[in-house]
Amino acid sequence: MSPPQSILDEQRPFLAPSRPSESDDDHTPATLEEARTSKEPIDPKEISSRRRTVILLGIWMGTFLSALNSTMVATLLSSMASEFQSANQASWLGTSYLLATCTFTPLYGRLSNAAGRRGAFQIALFFCGVGTVCCGLSTRLEVLIITRFVGLHWLRIKTSWKLKLLTYIAGLGGGGIFTTSSIIVSDMYSMRDRSLTQGYASIFTGMGLGLGGPFGGWVADRFGWRAAFLCQAPLFIFSFCTVTACLNYTVPGRSSSPWEVLKRIDYWGCATLLLAVASYLTFLSLRYNEDLPWTNLGVIASVLCTIILFTAFTLVELLFAKEPVLAPFLLKQRVPVLVGISNMLVSICNFSVQFYLPMWFETVQRTSVTTAGFHIMPNSISMSLGSLFSGWLMHRTGKYKTLNVTFGILPTLTALALSRLRTDSWTVTQWLTIVPLGFGNAVVLQTTLIALLASIPHSMLAVGTGFTQLFRGIGQVSGVAVSSAVFQTLLDKELHIRITGDGSDELIQKIRHSSRFVATLPEEVQILAREAYAIGLRRVFICTACAAFLGFCIRLGIPELSLDRPEDASRKTNSTATISMAAGKPGQFDRGRQNNDANQGNAEWNSDGEDDEGTKLAASRKGRRLSTYER
């Protein structure tokens, strides 16, 4: 008996147009659409090596710049906040960027299907680039915070004109760059090759994370902090032009017009998530940064808004959204949920350290901004090495669980070691203690991403990538905001214990508002202030260690799955589309319809588009018969 037509379709290159079947039952909307198309789309896995290299250079330049901005602000935090005399609001400089990243990052999974990979990456890069430049043009802290997030302000120039400058969201673009670049790499490489290629990508990300601190500090010391933002414009232009010229493959499910793209966006989901996270951050700021009591109307209102809006977001995603930013069926599966929670806790750990370790060296150790930034570089270098090492090992062995468990404990141990830092600690200890943190977190993020992708069909790759990025974004926001709340609470307490007498309250407020003000105090008062800063920062690192250890425990439940995807194996052999998964439990990836006839041994593979949500949700309601998800 000849094999089914769907099996023959699966043996042709992935994403190639399907030939119409003689049977009307075999026609799907995607197949009919492709049958009418005379121009054959380019298979991303068949792009020439030269063009592929240029594409990778363009997208990785974008990830480099996004990573650079995420850590550069941590080093410039004291300089920017002190200039505006608002150090107690300094965390908002980081959280405004991360809030937009958290809210809009999962949208890019859907957007990469609706607008295409190139369109989604162009949108992300444009927002990030314009938002970054406008940060350098900000003249007030509130404007700077809004520019990092919203980017809408008046630009005053030396003429009688006032130009209303509508800029775009840097954080929206920053998170989208990471998501879309990961999706593009996944399109062009098989699962095993993808793990190694993501390791190479981490070199650019690590360079951005590592150079962000010292580069921002060096530029700030010599030209001012504004120049650190403005000088990035040429690199954004280079990345945009490169991707525009070379990234030309197509994907199923892409909308035919911008209007169609706009109609497919989950506006209510994005709005409720944005307002929910913003309300949560407002509560933390009012209660802990501003020291308002629990009975304060603003504190009560922010708590109620947080609860109501998170509930509204959940209902919108589960009941009303046609293409939700948070795919609900992924929440019913074991691996995506464990990976998401783990990534959230890892991001809490990583960003808490990245934002507050430079403050330790600048305030407690009394180093320059440049030197404080350089102390982050070992972490970033070790992150690149950790990603490259884990990618190479997974490429060679096809295994990731042992790797995850072995190196996943390192962030916990490192955070505990950072809490033991003293002003008289050995110089080598101060520089290298952070190295295991970056290496361990890189291995964890790399292996959990591959575990997630191995647990879902290729048709859900873009949505799954956005799913994990959402949890990472929540962790980044929570890491900065919660650590700021812990730090400010303990700093205020310790300062009131040490500094008493007439005018002490005013002096304490000045110390909290400007970390640079500490250096101007008399020596005896300066010592007391530095001790208070040190205690607050140590408690932040202890909380970071707790988050890292909780993430380690959660990752123990992630099973080992095969990295040999069925669509990759179908190119190498003429075997059936049924594959066996780990632990001796056979599982089938169902990209569409399955033949329910028990006498037919082959699962039929349907060439429906990446965005066929109706089929996926229907399969989810039937349990999807994916035994590996539910082990």
DSSP per-residue letters across 455-483: TS-GGGHHHHHHHHHHHHHHHHHHHHHHH
Domain boundary among 526, 555, 584: 555
In a domain, 14, yes or no: no
Contact 307, 362 (CB under 8 A): no
In a domain, 10, yes or no: no
For residue 123 the two structure tokens come to 């949108």
In a domain, 22, yes or no: no
Measured between alpha carbons, how far is residue 498 from residues 306, 487, 528 in Å?
Answer: 36, 16, 6
Residues 472, 501 within the same domain: yes
**What are the b/e assignments for 80-118, b being 16+ CB within 10 Å?**
bbbbbebbbbbbbbbbbbbbbbbbbbbbbbbbbbbbbbb
For residue 122 the two structure tokens come to 């162009």
Say which residues have a Cβ less than 8 Å from residue 68's Cβ, sequence separation at least 6: 208, 209, 211, 212, 215, 232
Residues 335, 460 within the same domain: yes
In a domain, 78, yes or no: yes
d(C-alpha 127, C-alpha 105), whole Å: 12
Residues 85, 182 within the same domain: yes
Residues 348, 224 within the same domain: yes
Measured between alpha carbons, how far is residue 127 from residues 6, 55, 134, 500, 571 in Å?
Answer: 41, 20, 11, 48, 38
Residues 330, 316 within the same domain: no
In a domain, 543, yes or no: yes
The amino acid that residue 35 corresponds to is A
Count the domains in the chain: 3
State if pTM tops 0.85. no
Say which residues have a Cβ less than 8 Å from residue 358's Cβ, sequence separation at least 6: 74, 75, 77, 213, 372, 373, 375, 376
Range of the domain at 304: 267-321
Phi, psi of 152 (to 5 degrees): -120, 115
Residues 311, 170 within the same domain: no
Write out the DSSP string of 579-598. EE-GGG-EE---SS-----T
Residues 331, 310 within the same domain: no
Residues 312, 328 within the same domain: no
Contact 463, 407 (CB under 8 A): no
Phi, psi of 586 (to 5 degrees): -75, 135
For residue 6, give the 3-state DSSP assignment.
helix
Contact 508, 491 (CB under 8 A): no
In a domain, 560, yes or no: no
Can you give the pLDDT at residue 56?
Answer: 93
For residue 153, give the 3-state DSSP assignment.
strand
Contact 375, 363 (CB under 8 A): no
Can you give the pLDDT at residue 90?
Answer: 57
Closest CA to 127 of 149, 96, 94: 149
Residues 529, 583 within the same domain: no
Contact 216, 76 (CB under 8 A): yes
Q: What is the number of other CB atoms lying within 10 angstroms of the CB of residue 431?
A: 13
Contact 343, 548 (CB under 8 A): no
Say which residues have a Cβ less than 8 Å from residue 526's Cβ, sequence separation at least 6: 518, 519
Residues 374, 420 within the same domain: yes
Residues 228, 348 within the same domain: yes
What CATH number has the domain bearing residue 172? 1.20.1250.20
In a domain, 18, yes or no: no
Q: Which residues pair with 153 in a beta bridge?
A: 165
268 burial type by CB count under 10 A (0-12 exposed, 13-18 middle, 19+ buried): middle
Residues 392, 468 within the same domain: yes
Mean pLDDT by groups of 10 residues along the chain of 631 residues: 44 41 39 40 77 92 87 71 58 64 76 84 87 74 53 30 35 78 87 84 82 82 83 92 87 66 81 86 80 88 94 90 82 91 93 87 85 83 90 91 94 95 88 93 92 86 83 84 88 90 85 80 90 93 96 94 63 36 36 35 35 42 35 33
Contact 209, 66 (CB under 8 A): no
Can you give the pLDDT at residue 541?
Answer: 95
In a domain, 28, yes or no: no
